[in-house]
């Protein structure tokens, strides 16, 4: 069995948090795990009572499109991604 070499902590260091940390932001890199949202999409945070009613993004979009079509001026002429699928 192969032994894994772990980082050894000196005995004089404790597991407590330090009063101050200094980070070198010059070495920072973009988060490769962050989902790339397209410029055509917007992220909106719903209140808990609203998210209890709308379980999927499709249901939210359907309700908003119904409200938009009922507004004076009608529906804007923008290509929707869901209608192209």
The confidence score (pLDDT) of residue 85 equals 45
Pair 69, 75: CB distance under 8 Å: yes
| Domain-located, residue 60 | yes
Residue 14 lies in a domain: no
Per the confidence metrics, is the pTM higher than 0.85? no
Q: Assess if residue 46 is contained within a domain.
A: yes
In a domain, 72, yes or no: no
- φ, ψ of residue 64 in degrees (nearest 5): -65, -35
Residue 75 lies in a domain: no
pLDDT in tens, the chain (85 residues): 566 666 666 666 667 888 888 888 888 888 877 776 666 777 888 899 999 999 898 999 999 999 998 988 765 655 555 544 4
Give the range of the structural domain holding residue 51, as residue numbers without chain letter: 41-66
Tell me if 49 is assigned to some domain: yes
- Let me know if 84 is exposed, middle or buried by CB neighbors in 10 A (0-12, 13-18, 19+): exposed
Answer yes or no: are the C-beta atoms of 45 and 51 closer than 8 Å.
no
Q: How many domains does the chain have?
A: 1
């Amino acid at each position: 069995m192969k032994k894994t070499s772990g980082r050894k902590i000196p005995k004089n260091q404790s597991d407590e948090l330090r009063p101050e940390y200094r980070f070198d932001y010059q070495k920072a890199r973009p988060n490769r795990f962050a989902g790339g949202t397209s410029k055509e999409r917007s992220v909106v945070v719903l209140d808990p009572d609203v998210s209890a009613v709308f379980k999927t993004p499709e249901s939210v979009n359907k309700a908003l499109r119904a409200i938009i079509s009922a507004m004076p001026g009608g529906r804007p002429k923008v290509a929707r991604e869901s209608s192209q699928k």
